Amino acid sequence: MASTVTSKSLRPGYGQLLRTPGAWTFLLPGFAARQPFAMLTISIVLLVQHTTGSYGTAGAVAAVTGVSMALCAPYGGRLADRYGQRAVLVPGVVVHTLAGLTLTTLALTGAPLWTLFAAATLAGASTPQVGPMVRARWAAKLQDSPLMPTAAAFESVTDELTFVFGPLFATALCTAVDPAAGLVTEAALTLLGGLLFAAQRSTQPPAATDSPLSGPHARVQRVSALSIPGVRVLIVAFLGIGAVFGGMQVSLAAFSESIGNPGLNGVLYGVFAAGNMLSGLVCGAVAWRMAPQRRLVAGYAALAVTASGLWSADSVLTLAGLGLLVGMCIAPALITGYTLVDSLVPAGARTEAFTWLTGAVALGQAVAVTAAGQLEDHLWAGAGFLVPMGGTLLALATLVTLRSRLAPRATIGPASRTVARGVGHRVPVTVD
């Protein structure tokens, strides 16, 4: 009874969240460590486009990075759940740094295209998944607290802060300093930030190998996040969100170049990301009464509608306004999706689940970068904006059809049955 009163007495506010003991010890280094993530794709696109003269080739190399990241990130998350985050982070950041520097050297020296793809594959596979690791630390600290949606919103805002400053910083480096400066800086920041975050051992979730659980509970700890139907539905939704990110990155760059002002690319993308950040702040401050499954469908429908208008923009102001609206629609979908993980996935598989979602965004972005690059090369400037429209509409159709799978398993069926599936050991808490 006491736990119920405590849960309802807490307001889901940022002040309450940031007063969580030990939170700042992983928030600050986590922000520094995830900053390079927002620089990677745009840095590759700008460098390879400069050395090859083709957006299609640049998009393909960046896409390889995204695909390898999407395929490998969940397994890195599973290893982090099993052996601890530090054990995965330290070797990962070292490999990623070396791969990024190798890719830079190969691009500048005119190496064969296949070598760029090889280096890009390694760079993507070793990209440190700091964002999911931070979310896993929040989940470990808050558990079933009503502050979890606020934490999800806070992390979305933090992500968008990186996507406001990251592309602007990378674009400025590539255009004002040297085409290779963005990727070199990304590699250096990954090494420094990743090692600093890995050093914060006191706040990392306990590794599954350190867990004293045994018997049927040990089975729950070993459940794969991908085996949960709701996670697979969320993956499709996040693929569509990735299509927006990838399509916007290439298409905004091509649009800016077509009007003779390539430096405007970072500004337009910053407006798009700022919309995401602002709506994320609002979402985290609201005590939602609508079920998260319904919020996700409603928010995703708004995203699909706004993304469908991007291709028709014929001026900077129109494109900036539409980009702002699209960004404002992304945050509610992302926040609700990450919040649903807490009710769908057991604690021993959360990092893996978060990396599946992050990987889905990266994969959607990779496919979108390739498709948008081809459309920009062969059709008109701005044709790449068709990719966000197609990606979100397809994902929305899937989400509407399979939305029942997002219901928390603990609310349907006997407890013994849901525990056996690995998700029946927690009771959802409603935030009013």
- DSSP of 362-419: HHHHHHHHHHHHHHHHHS-TTGGGHHHHHHHHHHHHHHHHTGGGGS-GGGSS-HHHHH
pLDDT bucket at 98, cuts 50 / 70 / 90 = very high
Q: Please state which of the ranges 15-19, 252-256, 325-329, 406-410 shows the lowest mean pLDDT.
A: 406-410
**Residue 81 to residue 62: CA distance in whole angstroms:** 28
How is 104-156 classified by DSSP, letter by letter? HHHHHTT--HHHHHHHHHHHHHT---HHHHHHHHHHHHHTT-TTHHHHHHHHH
Residue 315 pLDDT > 90: no
pLDDT, tens digit, for every residue of 356-390? 887 788 788 778 877 887 787 777 766 788 888 88
DSSP 349: G
Residue 432 pLDDT > 60: no
Q: Please state which of the ranges 9-23, 103-117, 190-204, 250-264 shows the lowest mean pLDDT.
A: 9-23
Structural tokens at position 326 = 């699209």
367: nearest Cα among 243, 260, 193, 280 = 243
Q: Give the global pTM.
A: 0.68
Structural tokens at position 311 = 């291709």
Q: Do residues 67 and 60 make contact, with C-beta atoms less than 8 angstroms apart?
A: no
Residue 419 pLDDT > 70: no
DSSP 347: G
Q: What mean pLDDT is predicted for residues 164-171? A: 76
Q: Which residues contact 430 (CB under 8 A, 6 or more apart)?
A: 146
In this prediction, residue 209 carries a pLDDT of 58
Q: What mean pLDDT is predicted for residues 100-109? A: 93
pLDDT bucket at 208, cuts 50 / 70 / 90 = low
Q: Do residues 177 and 287 make contact, with C-beta atoms less than 8 angstroms apart?
A: no
Residue 294 pLDDT > 70: yes
pLDDT bucket at 114, cuts 50 / 70 / 90 = very high
The region that residue 171 occupies, defined by phi over 0 for left and psi between -120 and 50 for alpha, beta otherwise, is: alpha
Q: Which residues contact 70 (CB under 8 A, 6 or more apart)?
A: 124, 359, 360, 362, 363, 366
One-letter amino acid identity for 121? T
**Residue 190 to residue 96: CA distance in whole angstroms:** 8
Q: Please state which of the ranges 10-14, 93-97, 144-148, 186-190 shows the lowest mean pLDDT.
A: 10-14
pLDDT, tens digit, for every residue of 27-73? 888 887 887 777 888 889 889 988 888 877 887 888 788 788 878 87
In this prediction, residue 34 carries a pLDDT of 80
Neighbour-count burial of 378, counting CB atoms closer than 10 A to its CB (0-12 exposed, 13-18 middle, 19+ buried): exposed
330: nearest Cα among 356, 302, 310, 353 = 302
Percentage of the chain with pLDDT > 90?
A: 9
**Residue 344 to residue 148: CA distance in whole angstroms:** 13
Task: Give SS3 for 174.
Answer: helix
**What value does the mean pLDDT of the chain take?**
77
